[in-house]
């Protein structure tokens, strides 16, 4: 292969990967915007009914972030692997990137924005601060929502049990010991 053809091959590959990256980055936001196939739905989020028009393929995660401006719910992997997008639906934790907004009408959805009572933090939010249970914060809202459910489910009898039932929530900063300690504190 000549230097010239190698240069062309690299240029094409580079341009192609940039185009794919740009398309993937734009896709969620575009999907969340209304189009001719959109439907009107009502989501009950943090105690308030929210009317919106979305395409049927829009995930609950994108509806929350892109349409309702509830950006406390984070998008990590967008395919059910990291838990950053965890919210409560009728009191049960789910990964909001794995469910469609249209499927969650008539449900009580709680996001991280709905946990505090005015200026009073939820006991688990306070415990996360006290126990220094985060670094970058990318996973934190998902960890807290999952931790709230973990406590409600009664899976807090030991550190091992908490680790097991929180295993769907990953932390790149490896704050796991502090997260477990915060959940143990709040469970008391
Ligand atoms: S963004 Fe939903 S599990 Fe990672
Ligand atoms: S605090 Fe950084 S990923 Fe968990």
pLDDT at 170: 98
Atom in ligand 2 nearest the alpha carbon of residue 133: 1
Report the sign of the C-alpha dihedral through residues 74, 103, 47, 50, in that order: positive
Q: Give 73 Cα–ligand 1 centroid separation in angstroms.
A: 10
The finding on whether 172 has its CB within 6 A of some atom of ligand 2 is yes
Atom in ligand 1 nearest the alpha carbon of residue 82: 4
Asked whether the whole model's pTM tops 0.75, one would answer yes
Q: How confident is the model at residue 29 (pLDDT cuts 50, 70, 90)?
A: low
- 122-140: pLDDT as tens digits: 999 999 999 999 999 999 9
Q: Give 1 Cα–ligand 1 centroid separation in angstroms.
A: 43
Helix, strand, coil shares of the chain, percent, nearest 5, are 45, 15, 35
Residue ranges and CATH numbers for the domains of the chain are: 32-114 (3.10.20.30), 123-187 (1.10.150.120)
- Give the pocket of ligand 1 (CB within 6 Å): 75-78, 80-85, 95, 97
Q: Give 83 Cα–ligand 1 centroid separation in angstroms.
A: 5
Question: Which percentage of the chain shows pLDDT scores above 90?
Answer: 80
Q: Give 178 Cα–ligand 2 centroid separation in angstroms.
A: 11
Q: Which ligand is nearest to the CA of 182?
A: 2
Q: How confident is the model at residue 30 (pLDDT cuts 50, 70, 90)?
A: low
- Report whether pLDDT(37) > 70: yes
- 48-101: pLDDT as tens digits: 999 999 999 999 999 999 999 999 999 999 999 999 999 999 999 999 999 999
Residues 6 or more apart whose Cβ sits within 8 Å of residue 89: 99, 104, 107, 108, 109, 110
């Amino acid at each position: 292969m000549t230097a010239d053809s190698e240069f062309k091959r690299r240029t094409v590959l580079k341009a192609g990967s940039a185009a794919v990256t740009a398309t993937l980055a734009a896709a969620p936001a575009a999907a969340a915007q209304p189009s001719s196939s959109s439907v009107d739905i009502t989501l009950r989020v943090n105690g308030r009914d929210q009317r919106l028009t979305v395409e049927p393929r829009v995930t609950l995660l994108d509806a929350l972030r892109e349409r309702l401006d509830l950006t406390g719910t984070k998008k990590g992997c967008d395919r059910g692997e990291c838990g950053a997008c965890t919210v409560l639906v009728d009191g049960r934790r789910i990964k909001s990137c794995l469910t469609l907004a249209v499927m969650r009408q008539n449900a009580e959805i709680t996001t991280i924005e709905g946990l505090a009572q005015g200026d009073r933090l939820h006991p688990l939010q306070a415990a996360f601060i006290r126990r220094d249970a985060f670094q970058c914060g990318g996973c934190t809202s998902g960890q807290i929502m999952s931790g709230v459910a973990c406590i409600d489910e009664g899976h807090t009898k030991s550190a091992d049990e908490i680790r097991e039932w929180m295993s769907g929530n990953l932390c790149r900063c490896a704050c796991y010991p502090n997260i477990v300690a915060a959940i143990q504190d709040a469970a008391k």
